[in-house]
Amino acid sequence: MKYYKNMDNSYIQCLSTGAGQMEITEAEYLQIISICKNKPADTADYYYRLTDALLWEKKPRIRAEDAENLSAEDALNIITGGVT
């Protein structure tokens, strides 16, 4: 069986056993699954993303009232996840 991970900038977006961006070993796949099972709980103010270094990164959520003050460029970065 082949194992894959998909990346979004330096964050792991998903894992698969069918097709994907980057082939990984079974050991790496199982390690990432284990880390995902111990993900910190998201809150109303923050969520967590898994980096390629296999560390959880705490990210602030954008509040609706803050969104009114976003520039068009910042809004596009949020929508695309920073990928333009």
Q: What is the pLDDT of residues 24-71, one digit of tens each?
A: 999 999 999 999 999 999 998 899 999 999 999 999 987 766 666 778
List, as one string, the DSSP characters of 36-59: HHTPPPP-SSEEEEEBTTS-EEEE
The pTM for the full model equals: 0.69
Element (H, E) at 80: helix 72-80
With a cut of 80, say whether residue 80 has pLDDT above it.
Answer: no
Average pLDDT, stretch 4-26? 90
Average pLDDT, stretch 72-82? 75
